[in-house]
Chain A
Amino acid sequence: MTIDKQGSSPIRFRLDGGSGVPTYLQLVQQVEHALRVGFLHLGDQLPRVKDVVADLAINPNTVLKAYRELEHRGLAVGRPGQGTFVAGTLGEVGSRELAGLRRGLLRWMRTAADTGLDEDGMVALFTSALADFRDGRAGVVA
C-alpha cells in the first residue's frame, strides 16, 4: 500500500459530494473541526491553494473563498507569497459545560419519547427549532 502524502500542512481536505454543503463551506468546516480536535494549531500552514486544487480537482476560486471566509472569521491569515496560516483558535466550550448541555438534551429526548415522538421526529423538530433560532424567531414560539 503506497501512502499518498502531501507536504506543507498538517491537514488535508476531503469532499463529501452527497452532503449538500457548498464546497467552500466544507473546507471552512474542516479547518474549524481540525482546530477543535487539535489537528491544527496556531501558526500552522493551511494546505496551499495549488495543492488543494490538484488534490480535489476543484476551482481555485472556491479555495480562495474558503480562506477568505476563514480570515473573516479571524481564524486564518494570508501571507503574500507564503500561504495561509492559522491565526486564531475557536472558543472552546469546556467539557463540564458540554456535559451539562448534553444531559439537558437527553432529558428533552426522554420527554419527547414519552410523548410518542420517534428519533426522526426529534431530528425534524430540533432542525426546525434551530432554523427558528437562527432566524431570530425563537421568541415567537410561545
Chain B
Amino acid sequence: MTALEAAGLGKRYGRTWALRECTLAVPEGRVVALVGPNGAGKTTLLHLAVGLATPTAGSVRVLDGHPAGSPAALDRVGFVAQDMALYRNVSVADMLRIGRCLNRRWDQARAEARLAELDIPPRRKVGRLSGGQQAQVALALVLAKRPDLLILDEPVARLDPLARHEFMSALMTAVAEDGISVVFSSHVVAELERLCDHLVVLAGGRVQVAGEVDALLAEHKVLTGPAATADAVAAAVPVVRDRRAGAQAHLLVRDRRTAGANGRNAPPPGWEAHRVDLEELVLGYLRAPAAAALPGPGRLATGTVPVQGAPRLRGEHA
C-alpha cells in the first residue's frame, strides 16, 4: 500500500527544471519529512502530489495508484499550503461552513470539538487569531475532510516554539488516531528525529537521498582516522562529506554492504566508526549538495523507497 509514488517525475518552468528524475515510493501510515534548501524543489514536489501542478515528465500517484489531482485522489488527500490559505476576514465558524460545502467528506462535529478543545472562539475572524491558532484552524479544517494522506508545506515555519509543539502534537495525534499518512516539508532539522520515519532530501531539484529513517541511520556513519590513509578509505565506500585537517579526517559515509556476522562492518585499521543522528545526516547532505544521487532506479517494488547511492565527492581539504 503506497501513500505516494513518483516515477521519473519532473517539472519545468520555462527553461528551469524545478524538479527532475524524482523517483520514490512511500508506504501508507508513515510520516515523511521533505527537507532541502530553498529552491530545492520541495514545494514543486508537494504541488505535483496534490495536483496543483502538472508534471512535465513522469508521473505521481497517491493512495494506491490514483493520479495526483484526480477526483478520487482529491477526496482523500488534504493539503495545507505554506501560507495556510485562510480568509482573514471570515470567522472560524464560517471557514468551517465553507469547508463543509466544498468537500464531499466532512466531519463537522470533529472539527468543532477540536477547536473547542483549543479554546479557539468560533465567532472570531481568522485574521484576529494568533499565528498558532490560525495554523490550528487550518489543521482542523484539513482533518475535517478525513484525509488518508495529508500534505503540508512548511506548516510550522512561522510559528513560535510553543505553537510549533502544539501544532505537531495535534498533527501526530491525528496520525495516532486515524493512521493517516503525512508528508511535510520543514527546515526545522533538529525536530525531524522525533517526527518522521521517512526522509527525503532534495537539492537542486533532485532527490539526494530518500528512505526509511532507521535504515538510513544504519547505513550512514562517520569514520574518523588519520588523514594519511583517508584517500584509501574514501575510495572504498561512498562518501557524502569529507572533512580533513593536517592529521585527521572525518568521512560521512554511506555503507550499504550487508552487515557482517557480528552485525556491523569493522572500520579500517586505525579508524573509528561513529553513529550519526538524523540531524547530522541531514546537515551532511545539505552541506554537500554535490552529493546528489545518480538517477534513481527505473523500477521499484511497491512499499519500498529506493535508496540512491551518493557518488564520492572531492575532499574538502582544510
Contact with B along A6-45 (1 / 0, CB 8 A): 0000000001010010110000000000000000000000
B194, A54: Cβ atoms under 8 Å? no
Complex partner residue of B169 from A17, A20, A53, A135, CB under 8 angstroms? A53
Let me know if A61 is at the binding interface, CB within 8 A.
yes
Chain B residues with CB under 8 A of A111? none
- Chain B residues at the A interface, C-beta cutoff of 8 Å: 29-31, 165-166, 168-170, 172-173, 175-177, 190, 193-197, 217, 262, 264, 266, 277
Closest chain B CB from A72 CB (angstroms)? 15
Contact indicator B197/A62 (Cβ below 8 Å): yes
The 3 closest A-B pairs by CB, nearest first: A60-B176, A57-B168, A57-B169
The contact of A23 among B166, B194, B266, by CB within 8 Å, is: B194
Tell yes or no: A89 within 8 A of B by CB.
Answer: no
Contact A54 to B169, CB < 8 A, known contacts A61-B31, A135-B262: yes
The answer to whether B31 and A59 touch across the interface, beta carbons within 8 angstroms, is yes
| Contact A53–B197 (Cβ < 8 Å) | no
Q: Given known contacts A62-B194, A136-B262, is B277 in contact with A57 (CB within 8 Å)?
A: no
Chain B residues lying within 8 Å of A58, measured Cβ to Cβ, are 172, 194-195
Distance in angstroms from B268 CB to nearest chain A CB is 15
Residue on A with the closest CB to B167? A57
Contact indicator B193/A23 (Cβ below 8 Å):
yes
- Least CB distance, A54 to chain B, in whole angstroms: 5
Query: Do residues A50 and B195 form an inter-chain contact, with CB atoms below 8 A?
Result: no
Which of under 10, 10 to 19, 20 to 34, or 35 or more describes the interface residues of A?
Answer: 10 to 19
- Residue of chain A at shortest CB distance from B33: A59
C-alpha spacing A135/B166, complex, angstroms: 42
Chain A residues positioned under 8 Å from B194 (CB to CB): 15, 23, 56-59, 62
Decide if A49 is an interface residue (CB 8 Å cutoff).
Answer: yes
Contact assessment for A55 and B169 in the assembled complex, using a CB-CB cutoff below 8 Å: yes
Q: How far is the CB of A17 from chain B (nearest CB, A)?
A: 7
Which of A49, A56, A61, A135 is the one whose CB lies under 8 Å from B264? A135
> Of B169, B176, B193, which is in contact with the most chain A CB atoms at under 10 Å from its CB?
B176
Chain A residues contacting B166 (CB-CB under 8 Å) are 57
B291 CB, min distance to chain A CBs, angstroms: 23
A95 to B42, CA, bound (A): 56
A–B Cβ pairs within 8 angstroms, 8 of them:
A23-B193, A53-B169, A54-B172, A56-B169, A56-B194, A57-B165, A58-B172, A59-B197
CB pair A17 B176 closer than 8 Å: no
Within 8 A of B (CB), among A83-119: none
B196 to chain A: which residues have CB within 8 Å?
59
Among B172, B190, B266, the residue within 8 A (CB) of A59 is B172
